[in-house]
DNA sequence: TTGTACGCGTTATCAT
DNA sequence: ATGATAACGCGTACAA
């Protein structure tokens, strides 16, 4: 009988006469030995069950069970040159929109036997290289990233390796294909609508703009509108992290009310900010939209349920996740090129926006 | 000079005299060849840069760059017997609490160079085996799961393979260690508090209970209270998926108001249900808590910001994520056993709960 | 239907 | 400081 140079672990595999080195996982050879076949038959028993005689297959399965055998994924991946993993680089999961994006991404991947590995990076895209490297070292065969890639190391890395990659959330003309929407346009719609209602002094509550093309585009849209429609008084833009965004929305609104009494409309780059602000206005007795109009962004589930219901810009979060997954899968499975897609983000007018009040 | 039996791809690696088979990624050997060293020196240049002469190291790095070389993760994982991946089996990412859990899990993992692969399964734990298998095939060295594992195939698989595993969200006495809180207790607190305020007929809005020990425990706590404090009229328990939970909360409340006018308190197994219901009550002119008390679960960020602020049970979501990650890391890195931890879930009394109204 | 032999790309050991 | 060699565990031509 064949024996490893090491000791047989009798207390663990007591029923088995097969020796497995202590602390080592059994291999196909071990299973084969126990079942009285070769390793390659074991392989077949798992991967092409039909090609092995039923009784032998059962013997192999039993042997595997007895030895606590399980396939070594790394060896398999090496042999097949496929890990079936895609990487996701996301600012945070602790925000409904991004969570929904990853959720739908995962859904679509899993239907094809793929799974996402995720890295959260915060919102600044100028230092994401290490995160991406980690994902690739973990076997990512493709990459989903949020927003325009600003890190030159990342761009070089992607062209160098030819790794399939998509960016999402913002639509960008770029060598790296993107499946997203026009962030300038999404805010431009909102501000133009408010301007049409007569608003001449607004404020914006924005996410962190450093290394974040989505926020930069939106702020640009806001500034352009200020130049076109402003009454001369500066329109404040307050940036805040998306962490504790509801609370931040409430606090920022309080400050705004105190320091900028002339403001008649507030544009929020996330419904979370807007909802926090709206609730704070109700607490302070500010009437919405009679005294102040407020508009959000994202069209979260809560938006239509509030009183007044929240005007906002609907963002196709789930759609982006599905499409990105499908694009990556097609790239990997059928060598299809990833074609950029510009999706719609539509203004949804509800009850929180109205004509500017007379005395302005 | 060494040559593969295949054609040299001159148009692509024009500047290089090294032949790489077409369509194949270069290996360390190729890089070494180009840099005039052996493969193992290339390996050292990447993994232990100090042990190779600087000028040679540079030559190697240049060669790698020129050849578009990047390390093969599967080969590395096979050699090192380590993928640095843990699997996460989660009902959904499209719910703030679970997203936060995964977020904090990822944060802690990434600090140690690990990354999560995620699978979403829905709430029924009786059919998660395939998902888990997929994760393990993708290289998961350990597993985080939500709630008690009901699937026998999974239990056998875990004991068979000895894969480190934790369950979270519910604390369960089980062979699989859990880091969570007592779901019976969390609702018991809430209901006892309402009973002490004089409420004798309540309703519960619950998540899906099939294969879901958290919901089952909570419903049991509710039923036990009904038996102790009820007024004889049955206490309805309405189950609903967590998808579109805000909207569902609003709709269910509407039905309840119409069909069960005697109810004076509503217990929700998620703040999302509670917030939806609360907003609906405001819309209908039902006073909270004067006419009806409502209590949520989870203590989401919005709870204290509403008017009235929402009484709820605080759940340590981020804490669970961090602790589970740390436990898995310790198990893998230091062979430390995973010790079960029962965390607190505390009742937070705010403005949405009050004494039952007199006429009952 | 089953077995033999080899290679996937990396790193550790040992020798130089 | 660097190189030769072997081994990680699997899948697959090819042979039997």
Kindly report which listed range (A11-15, A350-354, B41-45, B68-72) carries the lowest average pLDDT score.
A11-15
Closest CA relative to residue A217, chosen from A244, A241, A181, A248? A181
pLDDT of residue A162: 87
pLDDT at site B111: 94
C-alpha dist (Å) from residue B275 to A75, A103, B171, B193: 50, 23, 26, 19
Q: Is the Cβ–Cβ distance between B309 and B351 less than 8 Å? A: yes
Q: pLDDT, tens digit, for every residue of A231-246?
A: 999 999 999 999 999 9
Residue A14 has pLDDT above 90, yes or no: no
Are B125 and B89 spatial neighbours (Cβ–Cβ below 8 Å)?
no
Distance CA A174, CA A159 (A): 13
Q: Using CB atoms, which residue from A65, A76, A134 is nearest to B115?
A: A134
- Cβ count within 10 A of residue B59: 19
DSSP one-letter string for A270-335: SHHHHHHHHHHHHHHT--TTTT-EEE-SB--TTGGGSSSPPBEEE--HHHHHHHHHHHHHHHHHH-
Over 90: is that where the pLDDT of A25 sits?
no
Q: Which residue has the tokens 């899990």?
A: B105
Residue A12 confidence (pLDDT) above 50: no
Could you give the CA distance from residue B98 to residue B116 in angstroms, rounded to a whole number? 14
- What's the CA A30/C1' D16 distance, rounded, in angstroms? 23
pLDDT exceeds 50 at position B14:
no
Q: Where is average pLDDT lowest: A46-60, B298-312, B329-343?
A: A46-60
Full DSSP string of A84-137: -EEEEEES-SSSHHHHHHHHHHHHHHHHTT-EEEEEE--S-GGG-HHHHHHHHH
Q: What is the 3-state secondary structure (H, E, C) of chain B?
A: CCCCCCCCCCCCCCCCCCCCCCCCCCCHHHHHHHHCCCHHHHHHHHHCHHHCCHHHHHHHHHHHHHCCCCCCHHHHHHHHCCCCEEEEEECCCCCHHHHHHHHHHHHHHHHCCCEEEEEECCCCHHHCHHHHHHHHHCCCCCEEEECCCCCHHHHHHHHHHCCCEEEEEECCCCCCCEEEECHHHHHHHHHHHHHHCCCCCEEEEECCCCCCHHHHHHHHHHHHHHHHHCCCCCCCEEECCCCCHHHHHHHHHHHHHHHCCCCCEEEECCHHHHHHHHHHHHHHCCCCCCCCEEECCECCCCHHHCCCCCEEEECCHHHHHHHHHHHHHHHHHHCCCCCCEEECCEEECCCCCCCCCCCC
| Cβ-Cβ contacts under 8 Å, B84 against chain A | 137-138
Distance A139 CA to D3 C1' (A): 29
Q: Residue B72 CA to nucleotide C10 C1', Å? A: 8
- Measured CA to C1', what is the nucleotide nearest B70? C9
Of B216 and B65, which is predicted with more confidence?
B216
Interchain proximity B139–A280, CB inside 8 Å: no
Residue nearest to nucleotide D9 (CA to C1'): A75
Per-residue model confidence (pLDDT) at position B10: 27
Q: Look at strands A178-181 and A341-343 and give their pairing.
A: parallel
Q: Which residues, 6 or more positions from A322, have their beta carbon under 8 angstroms from its beta carbon? A: A104, A105, A107, A108
**Lowest-pLDDT choice from A334-338, B8-12, B173-177, B180-184:** B8-12
- Quick one: pLDDT at residue A123? 87
Give the mean model confidence (pLDDT) for residues B230-235: 96
Q: Is the pLDDT of residue B2 over 70?
A: no
* B227: closest CA of chain A, how far (Å): 35
- Smallest Cα distance from A1 to chain B, Å: 25
CA distances from B273 to B25, B64, B245, B300, B315 (A): 52, 55, 5, 11, 16
Residue nearest to nucleotide D1 (CA to C1'): B52
Confidence tier at A359 by pLDDT (50, 70, 90): low
DSSP conformational letter for A165: E
Among chain A residues 17-46, those with CB within 7 Å of any atom of strand C: 32, 36-41, 44
**A207, A237 in Cβ contact below 8 A?**
no
Average pLDDT over residues B311-337: 97
pLDDT reading at B12 higher than 60 = no
Distance from CA of B302 to the nearest CA of A (A): 7
d(CA B321, CA B103): 7
Task: Specify the residue for token string 């270069």.
Answer: B26
A315-348: b or e for each residue (b if 16 or more CB lie within 10 Å)? Answer: bbbbbbbbbbbbbbbbbbeeeeebebbeeebebb
Give the whole-angstrom CA distance, residue B31 versus residue B70. Answer: 10
Residue with tokens 């605080």: B314
Percent over 70 (pLDDT), chain B: 93
Residue A80, burial from CB neighbour count under 10 angstroms (0-12, 13-18, 19+): exposed
C-alpha to C-alpha distance for B52 and A165, rounded to whole angstroms:
34
A93 contact residues in B (CB cutoff 8 A): 93, 99-100, 102-103, 106
User: B44 CA, D5 C1': separation in Å?
Assistant: 16
Residue A246 and residue B135: Cβ atoms within 8 Å?
no
pLDDT value of residue A358: 73
3-state secondary structure of A199: coil
CA dihedral of B268, B273, B276, B282, whole degrees rounded to 10: -10
What's the rounded Cα separation, in Å, for the pair B268 and B248? 11
Cβ–Cβ under 8 Å, residues A203 and A237 = yes
At B155-169, the pLDDT tens digits run: 988 988 889 999 999
Average pLDDT in chain B: 91
Phi, psi of A185 (to 5 degrees): -60, -40
Nearest CA in chain B to A94: B100
The confidence score (pLDDT) of residue B246 equals 98
Of B321, B303, B325, B320, nearest in space to B312 by CA: B303
Q: What is the pLDDT of residues A263-282, one digit of tens each?
A: 999 999 999 999 999 999 99
pTM attached to this predicted model: 0.92
Q: How high is the pLDDT of residue B359?
A: 67
Nearest Cα neighbor of A180 from A137, A148, A203, A142 is A148
Give the closest nucleotide to A43 (alpha carbon vs C1').
D11
**Reported confidence tier of residue B356, pLDDT bands at 50, 70, 90:** very high
The residue-averaged pLDDT of B109-119 equals 96
pLDDT greater than 90 at residue A138: yes
Residue A207 in contact with residue A183, Cβ under 8 Å?
A: no
E strand or H helix at A255: helix A245-259
Give the C-alpha distances (Å, rounded to integers) separating A87 from A101, B93, B138: 13, 16, 12
Sole residue written with tokens 């009229």 = B233
Q: Straight-line distance from CA B179 to C1' C11, in Å?
A: 37
**Strand C contacted by B120 CB (< 7 A):** no
Residue A8 pLDDT > 50: no
- Residue A179 φ/ψ, nearest 5 degrees: -125, 100
Query: CA-CA distance, B21 to B162, in Å (whole number)?
Result: 41
Question: Who's near B28: CB < 8 A, 6+ residues apart?
Answer: B39, B40, B42, B43, B69
Give how far A137 is from chain B: nearest CA, Å.
Answer: 5
Mean pLDDT rounded to a whole number for chain A: 91
pLDDT at B11 over 80: no
Q: Tokens at residue A15, please? A: 């029923």
What is the band of B125 on the pLDDT scale with cuts at 50, 70, 90?
Answer: confident
Each residue's pLDDT tens digit, B261-304? 999 999 999 999 999 999 999 999 999 999 999 999 999 999 99
The predicted pLDDT at position A127 comes to 83
Residue of A nearest to B87 (CA): A117
A28-42, A85-99, B200-214: segment of lowest average pLDDT: A28-42
Q: Is A138 helix (H, G, I), strand (E, B) or coil?
A: coil
For residue B81, the number of C-alpha atoms closer than 13 Å in the C-beta half-sphere is 5
pLDDT interval class at B225 (50, 70, 90): very high
């Amino acid at each position: 009988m064949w024996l490893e140079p090491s000791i047989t672990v009798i207390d663990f595999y007591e029923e088995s006469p097969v020796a497995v080195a202590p602390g080592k996982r059994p291999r196909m050879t071990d299973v084969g030995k126990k079942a009285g076949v070769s390793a390659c038959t074991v392989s077949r028993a798992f991967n092409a069950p039909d090609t092995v005689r039923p009784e032998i297959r059962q013997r192999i399965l039993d042997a595997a069970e007895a030895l606590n055998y399980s396939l070594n994924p790394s060896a398999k991946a090496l042999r097949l040159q496929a890990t079936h993993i895609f990487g996701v680089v996301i600012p945070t999961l602790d925000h409904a929109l991004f969570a929904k994006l990853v959720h739908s991404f995962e859904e679509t991947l899993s239907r094809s036997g793929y799974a996402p590995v995720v890295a959260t990076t915060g919102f600044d895209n100028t230092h994401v290289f290490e995160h991406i490297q980690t994902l690739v070292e973990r076997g990512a065969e493709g990459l989903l990233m949020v927003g325009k890639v600003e890190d030159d190391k990342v761009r070089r890395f992607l062209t160098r390796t030819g790794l399939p990659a998509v960016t999402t959330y913002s639509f960008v003309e770029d060598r790296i294909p993107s499946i997203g929407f026009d962030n300038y346009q999404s805010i431009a719609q909102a501000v133009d609508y408010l301007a049409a209602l007569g608003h001449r002094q607004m404020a914006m509550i924005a996410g962190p703009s450093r290394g974040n093309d989505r926020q930069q585009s939106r702020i640009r849209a806001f500034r352009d509108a200020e130049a076109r429609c402003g009454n001369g008084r500066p329109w404040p833009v307050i940036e805040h992290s998306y962490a504790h965004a509801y609370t931040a929305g409430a606090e920022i609104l309080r400050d705004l009310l105190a320091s900028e009494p002339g403001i008649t409309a507030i544009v929020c780059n996330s419904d979370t900010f807007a909802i926090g602000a709206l609730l704070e206005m109700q607490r302070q007795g500010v009437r919405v939209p009679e005294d102040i109009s407020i508009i959000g962004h994202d069209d979260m589930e809560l938006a239509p349920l509030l009183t007044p219901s929240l005007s906002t810009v609907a963002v196709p979060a789930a759609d982006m996740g599905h499409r990105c997954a499908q694009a990556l899968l097609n790239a990997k499975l059928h060598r299809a090129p990833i074609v950029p897609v510009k999706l719609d983000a539509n203004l949804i007018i509800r009850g929180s926006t109205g004509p500017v009040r007379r005395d302005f």
